[in-house]
């Protein structure tokens, strides 16, 4: 069984026909309890139960059940972050999974009920499924996230709080395994933030064509590395940026923390004086997610970006 998926929406829908939920940045999982045996599967139908020992016991015991949800873990800023789960996703040894579950505890956000006590609910409207789900009293490592009537409010609130986005669902929608349905629409946030350039990478096979920037966030602990940005830097932008970094070179990294080898290799380090705007997916993460270069901020200095 593959889970039902959402399409990309253009505008958050309004009206009583829609309910709205937080879009969780985690690992999608269907969980079935049949004949007393619990089995979790990924969206690609791979068995993943062993990777999540803290989630692998149903709070309803051996009760017949099939639910859909998202496995999440929080980053250092208290936000759900897919990358916090990456060391756990592919673990298939029980001892390693148990150790990682203590270091990076996960929570299962259960947002849909598809079967209970042998009753198939996939043909029932979402409102019916959600009402039955809420009545199960799930709490602890399995939780039922809230649904909201006001999508615009939720979209703005999740934007300000740094969440990934929202999902809007028709209240009358049924559940169709494996379908990407327009009855479910997702709206992801992107954020434009200013960063300081600490290095640049040439285009592969060249020595002087600027292809990407290494950027950081100025803090009380120094310039902390946030990621490498190549998207948005075409030939014209590359030529303009190459002119701006001329004369700013230095022999060592300006970042106070360690730059991953994959990013540091071949990088030309710079004095950290140039400020640029980056459009990024999500906010509050240690590394930029799907970043895109937007332009140079000649009106800002690194000191202007220092946060108290």
* Catalytic status, residue 23: yes
Mean pLDDT, residues 264-282: 90
Residues 218 and 93 in one domain: no
Q: CA-CA distance, 231 to 279, in Å (whole number)? A: 10
Query: Quick one: 246 exposed, middle or buried, by C-beta within 10 A (0-12, 13-18, 19+)?
Result: exposed
| Boundaries of domain holding 97 | 5-188
Statement: residue 307 has pLDDT above 90: no
3-class secondary-structure state, position 208: coil
State the average pLDDT over residues 133-146.
95
Are 152 and 262 found together in one domain? no
Same domain, 88 and 179: yes
Question: Could you give the CA distance from residue 119 to residue 139 in angstroms, rounded to a whole number?
Answer: 22
- Verify that 25 and 106 share a domain, yes or no: yes
| Domain tally, the chain | 2
Q: Yes or no: say if 24 and 18 are a contact pair by the CB < 8 Å rule.
A: no
Task: Answer with the one of 188, 210, 242 that is the final residue of a domain.
Answer: 188
Q: What is the pLDDT of residues 198-240, one digit of tens each?
A: 999 998 877 678 999 999 999 989 999 999 999 999 998 999 8
Q: What is the pLDDT of residue 189?
A: 83
Residue 145 CB neighbours (<10 A): 15
Query: Band of the pLDDT at 39, cuts 50, 70, 90?
Result: very high
Same domain? For 210 and 239 the reply is yes
Predicted confidence at residue 285, as pLDDT, reads 64
b/e sequence 108-143, b meaning 16+ C-beta within 10 Å: bbbbbbbbbeeeebeebebeebbeebeebebeebbb
Q: What confidence category does residue 81 fall into, taking pLDDT thresholds of 50, 70 and 90?
A: confident
Q: What is the mean pLDDT of the chain?
A: 92
Q: What is the pLDDT of residue 308?
A: 47
Q: Say how many residues make up the chain.
A: 308
Same domain (yes/no): 184, 196:
no
**Whole-model pTM?**
0.70
Give the CATH number, domain containing residue 233.
Answer: 2.40.50.140
* pLDDT attached to residue 282: 59
In a shared domain, residues 200 and 152: no
| pLDDT-based confidence at residue 164 (cuts at 50, 70, 90) | confident
Residues 103 and 132 in one domain: yes
Same domain, 201 and 175: no
109 with 119, same domain: the answer is yes
Q: Of 173, 188, 203, which residue sits at a domain end? A: 188
The one catalytic residue in 23, 93, 169, 186 is: 23
Mean pLDDT, range 34-58, rounded to an integer: 95
Q: Looking at the predicted structure, is the pLDDT value of residue 3 above 70?
A: yes
The verdict on 257 and 207 lying in the same domain is yes
Q: Please give the average per-residue pLDDT across 1-29, as a whole number.
A: 94
pLDDT bracket for residue 280 (50, 70, 90): confident
Question: For residue 104, what pLDDT band results from cuts at 50, 70 and 90?
Answer: very high
Pairing label, strands 292-296, 190-202: unpaired
pLDDT of the residue at 288: 86
3-state secondary structure of 283: coil
Q: Output the six-digit token pair for 83.
A: 């990358």
Looking at residue 77, which CATH number applies to its domain?
3.30.470.30
pLDDT score of 283 more than 90: no
Sign of CA dihedral 9, 228, 282, 308: negative
Whether 174 contacts 123, CB under 8 Å = yes
- Domain final residue, candidates 149, 165, 188: 188
What local confidence, expressed as pLDDT, does residue 146 receive? 96
Is there a single domain that holds both residue 14 and residue 131?
A: yes
């Amino acid at each position: 069984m593959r889970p039902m998926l959402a399409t990309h929406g253009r505008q958050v829908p309004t009206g009583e026909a829609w309910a709205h939920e937080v879009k969780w940045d985690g690992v999608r999982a269907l969980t079935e309890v049949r004949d007393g045996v619990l089995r979790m599967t990924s969206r690609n139908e791979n068995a993943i139960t062993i990777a999540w020992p803290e989630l692998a016991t149903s709070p309803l015991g051996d009760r017949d059940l099939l639910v859909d949800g998202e496995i999440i873990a929080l980053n250092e800023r208290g936000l759900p972050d897919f990358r916090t789960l990456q060391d756990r996703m592919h673990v298939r040894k029980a001892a390693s999974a148990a150790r990682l579950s203590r270091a990076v505890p996960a929570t299962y956000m259960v947002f849909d009920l598809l079967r209970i006590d042998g009753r198939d609910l996939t043909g029932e409207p979402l409102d019916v499924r959600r009402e039955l789900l809420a009545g199960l009293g799930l709490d602890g490592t399995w939780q039922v996230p809230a649904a909201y009537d006001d999508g615009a409010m939720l979209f703005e609130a999740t934007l300000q709080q740094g969440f990934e986005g929202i999902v809007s669902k028709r209240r009358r929608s049924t559940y169709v395994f494996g379908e990407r349905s327009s009855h479910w629409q997702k709206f992801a946030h992107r954020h434009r933030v200013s960063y300081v350039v600490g290095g640049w990478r040439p285009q592969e096979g060249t020595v002087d064509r600027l292809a990407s920037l290494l950027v950081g966030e100025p803090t009380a602990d120094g310039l902390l590395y946030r990621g490498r940005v190549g998207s948005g830097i075409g030939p014209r932008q590359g030529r303009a940026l190459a002119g701006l970094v001329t004369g700013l070179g230095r022999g060592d990294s300006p970042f106070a923390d360690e730059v991953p080898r994959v990013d540091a290799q071949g990088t030309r380090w710079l004095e950290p004086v140039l400020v640029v705007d980056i459009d990024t997916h999500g906010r509050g993460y240690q590394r930029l997610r799907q970043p895109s270069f937007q332009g140079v901020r000649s009106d800002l200095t690194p000191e202007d970006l220092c946060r108290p």
